[in-house]
Amino acid sequence: MPRIIDPHVDAMIITRFKSGESTRSIAKGLGKSIQTVYNTLERGGVDLKRRSVSEKQRARLIDLCKRGMSVSRAATWSGMSPSTATRVIREYRHSGGALTLQKGRRERRPSSSILPASREAPTQQTRPPLFYLGVSIDWASHERVVDVPLFISFRKLRTRRRLPDIATHFALDSGGFTELQMNGRWTISAHEYAEKVRKMISFYKSKLMWVAPQDWMCEPIILAGGHVRGVGRFIGTGLTVEEHQTRTVRNFAELRAEVGDRVIPVLQGFHLHEYQRCAQMYLDAGFDLTQEPVVGLGTVCRRQATSEAEVIVRALARDGVRLHGFGFKKTGLIACGDALVSADSMAWTVDARYQPPLPGHEYPGPGRSRGHARCSNCIEFALAWRDSLIARLENRKRGRHLE
């Protein structure tokens, strides 16, 4: 039987291969067999042996190997497959380059690696991640949320002449996804953002735990634009992933200078080697992410069901980055919660849309003047959802300790 070929998947395989990703990683990320990936590349006329390696990638690979990293690990950090890396190293030595490879020894961290951790990197958090519940600003002053850390969008506060009371600790999201979806760029400058954030910090004081920067997400739809059912139209920024990363890092540097430590860095990218490149960009700008108490992880939330998302989370956590997962869903949190220090979610509203209301919520009751058919905008549902999530995360933790 002839195989059905999806041109979209074909194009994705070829683009990812040309951007330097290994065939194995592509296969895993897309849930295809390696053979399918090879077939597609052959059909697309891609020369498997002569994959283009940029001068920068080549220099980084050689540098990492010289500092004692194994070829296969240095390959990942340089965004190429192990076999391409082996070829590059062979060619380098043939042309007279001096390089002693570390063989038969346990790999040690290079003296100044991409993320020079000065402390032992935790591979697993000892506690479940701190969970910030995403809710409507109208509930933020509600007495029922007093002990619940909240996740509040800058977009909900930026237009308020008087800032509303918030009853608990919270983290401030920049609302970048909506901003880029609707405008294809940030319509507020770093300076204006900083000014507003400074006002919020002086109003909320220590209740405002941290502030996300004006980052640039890297989903293909954010870059290229298009239409997603149920989400709407995306203008598209028309920029590359690298440009999004450059702007993200530049914005963070500006905000840090203007606002201080309350602003956290956010890693952006799409594939693992791109996130690693982003970490390098931060380092080049003078920010060692392993020294930051929280580092946001962008562009993962809409694909947590994939193994690639988990690979990215675990690889970065292993290198000592304390990650906050933006917009994680229950399954994503349960899968990699042990590699995150914190996470936020509004996924309860989606769950509520497909479920009958809580018992009695069809009718008016305490805290609701009218009944509702769905609990998708219901504080009691949100809190119950949060309780069950935390219980599952703690159970998983306990289970791990018993193993």
List of residues contacting Zn ion (CB under 5 A): 357-358, 361, 375, 378, 381
CB of 376 to Zn ion, least distance (A): 8
- The residue type of 4 is I
Beta carbon nearer to Zn ion, 293 or 364: 364
- Quote the least distance from Cβ 368 to Zn ion, whole Å: 7
Shortest distance in whole angstroms from residue 132 CB to Zn ion: 21
Pairwise CA distance, residues 232 & 55, whole Å: 40
Indicate the residue among 187 and 369 with the shorter CB distance to Zn ion: 369
Cβ atoms 308, 275 nearer than 8 A: no
Nearer to Zn ion, 41 or 378 (CB): 378
Number of Cβ within 10 Å of residue 337's Cβ equals 25
Query: Residue 361 Cβ, how far from Zn ion at the closest point, in Å?
Result: 4
CA distances from 283 to 100, 116, 263, 280, 316 (A): 27, 9, 17, 5, 14
Nearer to Zn ion, 221 or 358 (CB): 358
Q: For residues 238 and 371, which CB has a smaller minimum distance to Zn ion in the complex?
A: 371
Q: Is the dihedral of CA 112, 115, 121, 123 positive or negative?
A: negative
Q: Closer to Zn ion at the Cβ: 271 or 361?
A: 361
187 token code pair: 């319509």
CB of 223 to Zn ion, least distance (A): 38
| Least separation in angstroms between CB 374 and Zn ion | 8
Q: Describe the strand order of the beta sheet including 170-173 as a list of residue ranges.
A: 208-211, 170-173, 150-153, 130-134, 340-345, 323-325, 295-297, 266-267
Q: What is the 3-state secondary structure (H, E, C) of 22-70?
A: CHHHHHHHHCCCHHHHHHHHHHCCCCCCCCCCCHHHHHHHHHHHHCCCC
Q: Give the Cα separation of 29 and 39 in Å (integer).
A: 17
Q: How far is the CB of 144 from Zn ion (least distance, A)?
A: 13
Token look-up 């400074």 returns: 198
CB nearer to Zn ion: pick between 88 and 379: 379
Shortest CB 344 distance to Zn ion, Å: 21
What is the C-alpha separation between 365 and 48, in angstroms, rounded? Answer: 66
The 8 Å CB, 24+ separation contacts for 2-11 are 9/40, 10/40, 10/43, 10/44
**Which tokens hold the place of 76?**
């990942």
Closer CB to Zn ion, 314 or 361, in the complex: 361
Least distance (Å) between residue 143 CB and Zn ion = 17
Give the end-to-end CA distance of the chain in Å, rounded to a whole number. 46
When the beta carbons of 260 and 367 are compared against Zn ion, the nearer one is 367
Whether the Cβ atoms of residue 59 and residue 77 lie closer than 8 Å to each other: no
Smallest gap from Cβ 370 to Zn ion, in A, equals 11
Q: Which residue is nearest to Zn ion (CB)?
A: 378
Tell how many helices (H) and how many strands (E) occur in the chain. 16, 10
Instruction: Tell me how crowded residue 227 is: count the other CB atoms within 10 A of its CB.
Output: 9
DSSP string of 106-130, one letter each residue? -----TT-SS--SSPPPSS-SSPPE
CB of 346 or CB of 358, closer to Zn ion: 358
Closest C-alpha to 127, from 400, 403, 314 = 400
Using the structure block, give the residue that is written with the tokens 């053979």.
35
